[in-house]
Amino acid sequence: MDANITTNEKKVDFFISEKDKYVVVSFQGQIGRTFEQTLLECWKHISKTQADQIILNFHDVTQFDKHGLSAFVRFEKQVREKPAQLRICFVNHPLYKFLNDEGSGFLKLLAIFVDKQIRELS
């Protein structure tokens, strides 16, 4: 599934891949006010699946502003209530810094994931 949400402010595309109990959502572009619409579209698809592992790929995100942050927090809650585990990958340094400065739960989620991955490799 592919989607493109566009306004005069920001543009974010997303692509969903699904296999077995995994769903990967790859975002591309600038995340801002329209991110809530994007996540609603993602959730429509995810909620219909049997997936219990949701992976968000931020590799091609060029900007993430504070307007997208609250939508992300609500999305995270929906995923956990599904129930499913939410994982994040490919967070670039500027995005990491922004999320760290904003003090969101996003970085806590990322830290838990990285810690788990390191333990599994040991």
pLDDT one-digit tens code per residue, 77-115: 888 888 898 888 887 777 777 766 765 566 666 566 555
Q: Tell me the CA distances in angstroms from 44 to 8, 22, 25, 113, one per residue in order.
A: 24, 16, 13, 25
Query: Is it true that domain 2-121 has CATH number 2.60.40.1180?
Result: no
Cα(85)–Cα(116) distance, integer angstroms: 13
Residue reference for tokens 């931020």 = 58
pTM for the whole thing?
0.73
pLDDT-derived band at 54 (thresholds 50, 70, 90) equals very high
Q: Tokens standing for 80?
A: 């956990």
DSSP, collapsed to helix, strand or coil, labels residue 93 as helix
pLDDT-derived band at 24 (thresholds 50, 70, 90) equals very high
Whether residue 1 is predicted with pLDDT greater than 60 in this model: the reply is: no
Task: State residue 25's pLDDT score.
Answer: 93
